Amino acid sequence: MNCWSISAAKLLLPQLVLGRAINEKVNSSPLGKLFVIMFIVLKNVCMLVYSKLEKRKNMLFLKLTLGLLLITTSYCLGQTRTENLEKYWHYKERLIGTENEFGFLDIGIGRGMSLAASERYPSANCTTDYYLKKKGCTGSKGRGRMHWGDASLYHGLYMAILALEYANLEQAQQSTDAVAEELWYALEAFERLDSMAEVVLGLPGKKDGFFIRDDIEGDFYIKKGAARNRRFTNGKDSYSCLSSALSCGPPSAESGAFISQDQVIGLFVGFSMIQQLIPDKRYKTNGPTFGEKARLNVHRITSHMMDRKWKLRTPDGSPIPDKWGGNAIGLSFPISTIANQLTEQKYVKTYQKNGAILLGKPIYDLLQGTLSVQHPTNVVLALASATLLPERSYKELGRRSIKHDVIIYPLMRAVLFNQKIFEKIKRSDFEAILNTAPYDGPCFGLEDCTAPDGWKSYNRWIHPHFKNGNPYGVHSEMPGLDYLLLYNLYHYYYKANLPSYKKTSK
């Protein structure tokens, strides 16, 4: 019998469980590495002591050694939890930008603002960049390209992060003024996309649920009156070009720039988090609540889709191709069901019309039952949408999320609807993921990139098949929305024995 079986069987220390932290490097920080070293040293001491005491049948020193190991482990895990909170606030600064951080978005009310870029290419040559030339974009001088792709989907995750941040700050009795303003601008940004969709097609703006994915123009990186006349700068260097839905000419139905079923599911994640956690909170005293804003946008989007029998098209009747999520009948059942529960019949009795039940439900059930043969994108759509349906089995959601390596979705369901998490998913599983996130954010392939496997994806919860890097040779920095969302859900659900949710800096 070895030292570790004795600790469990004879010393009755079954709670000395380190989860998967040891197997997944624990942490990329110096403290995390120190923890691993201490653990290994103490383990070896334990085994050495036991080998010397085995013949003497004296377990006192062994018990003391294991007790020291338990105390040290608890201390180090506590320090790691503090580090993860510090890392959250660092990621947030990295996202919104500071004097020393370029940022991935610019908070505000104007065109293009409060929309997070999905990637940054710091070494791109704006004159010769392959992507810009392929898309026929007008070149510019300088280096560094920012890219907005699937921006409205990620905007939903961004709104969910802000709703959770508000709730966590409120529970910690901290000021919510800054995050309330940021969330208000984020909600206004989506309504701007809703109105701008017609404008870019030469029509009057209209808030009707038909939206464009982003409204970033080609010269958005320029900001008059800013340092170096640049929007994304650290005071010394800056980004000099960008790519987005609008930056390379007018969009069309064929370009994949408008509404789609996957973009809607991403947005509904954000609207659901707002409605479930902070529906009655508001930014302006006499203004609408966050919940009112969220419900109205859900109504507009779902009504637009339902009225067109879930076949999406532009205002002039041009169909949005299936490859861009234009045929939404497959997700019409979850979308209409989520809309019903969020809007609480404030606008219409039901959105489950025009095939959402007759066709949409059996198609959706078939999707859920065939995930093993589906493309990873369809798998994520199925699991993310099921997350927002509290009547669906939490056990099935848990099993499927484990299999497809996206265990954030059972945690999200638990937070949204105060449900249990599938018993095979442990707190230590989330901590192992959080611990390994690099302090300077996700990245892939860049010379100074320190991200370990798991943090090399655009977003590991949307593209889990790319979490260890993409096969296309695309090397970039990512905003870390995946870490920000997971940490906030984790802190909200496991608040006991966690450091107080206060803004920190390192």
The 10s digit of each residue's pLDDT in 357-415 is 999 999 999 999 999 999 999 999 999 999 999 999 999 999 999 999 999 999 999 99
Q: Mean pLDDT score of the chain, rounded to an integer?
A: 88
In this structure, is residue 279 part of a structural domain? yes
CA distance 349 to 380: 29
C-beta separation of 92 from 116 below 8 A? no
Query: Is the predicted pLDDT of residue 144 greater than 80, yes or no?
Result: yes
Pick the range with the lowest mean pLDDT from 49-63, 99-113, 350-364: 49-63
In this structure, is residue 139 part of a structural domain? yes
For helices 361-369 and 332-343, the axis angle rounded to 10 degrees is 110
CA distance 462 to 408: 11
Q: 190: closest CA among 137, 115, 291, 130? A: 115
Domain that holds residue 340: 97-389
Domain count, the chain: 1
Mean pLDDT for 443-460 is 96
In this structure, is residue 146 part of a structural domain? yes
What is the predicted pLDDT for the residue at 87? 97
What is the predicted pLDDT for the residue at 4? 33
C-beta separation of 424 from 16 below 8 A? no
Query: Is the predicted pLDDT of residue 67 greater than 80, yes or no?
Result: no
Tokens 């980004």 sit on residue:
239
Pick the range with the lowest mean pLDDT from 29-38, 198-207, 216-225, 445-454: 29-38
Strands 143-147 and 241-243: parallel
What is the predicted pLDDT for the residue at 378? 96
Mean pLDDT for 185-204 is 98
Query: Is the predicted pLDDT of residue 418 greater than 90, yes or no?
Result: yes
In this structure, is residue 163 part of a structural domain? yes
* Sequence-separated (6 or more) residues with CB below 8 Å from residue 446: 122, 123, 475, 476, 477
In this structure, is residue 435 part of a structural domain? no
What is the predicted pLDDT for the residue at 235? 82
pLDDT confidence tier of residue 99, bands split at 50, 70 and 90? confident
Q: What percent of the chain has pLDDT over 90?
A: 77
Pick the range with the lowest mean pLDDT from 71-85, 213-227, 364-378, 478-492: 71-85
In this structure, is residue 234 part of a structural domain? yes
Instruction: Pull the structure tokens for residue 463.
Output: 């593209």
CA distance 451 to 468: 9
C-beta separation of 386 from 269 below 8 A? no
What is the predicted pLDDT for the residue at 3? 38
Q: 486: closest CA among 85, 64, 193, 204? A: 85
C-beta separation of 454 from 436 below 8 A? yes
In this structure, is residue 10 part of a structural domain? no
Collapse the DSSP code of 197 into the 3-class scheme (helix H, G, I; strand E, B; otherwise coil) and give the result: helix
Higher per-residue pLDDT: 22 or 292: 292
Query: Is the predicted pLDDT of residue 302 greater than 60, yes or no?
Result: yes
Instruction: Pull the structure tokens for residue 41.
Output: 């040293």
* Sequence-separated (6 or more) residues with CB below 8 Å from residue 371: 378, 379, 382, 383, 400, 403, 404
DSSP conformation letters of 345-395: TSS-S-S--TTIIIIIHHHHHHHHHTGGGS-HHHHHHHHHHHHT-TTS-HH
What is the predicted pLDDT for the residue at 64? 56
pLDDT confidence tier of residue 477, bands split at 50, 70 and 90? very high
CA distance 226 to 246: 23
What is the predicted pLDDT for the residue at 20? 41
In this structure, is residue 405 part of a structural domain? no
pLDDT confidence tier of residue 70, bands split at 50, 70 and 90? low
Give the pLDDT confidence of 203-248 residue by residue, as tens digits: 999 999 999 999 999 999 998 777 668 899 988 899 999 999 998 8
Pick the range with the lowest mean pLDDT from 111-125, 232-246, 256-270: 232-246
What is the predicted pLDDT for the residue at 248? 83
Collapse the DSSP code of 178 into the 3-class scheme (helix H, G, I; strand E, B; otherwise coil) and give the result: helix
Query: Is the predicted pLDDT of residue 5 greater than 80, yes or no?
Result: no
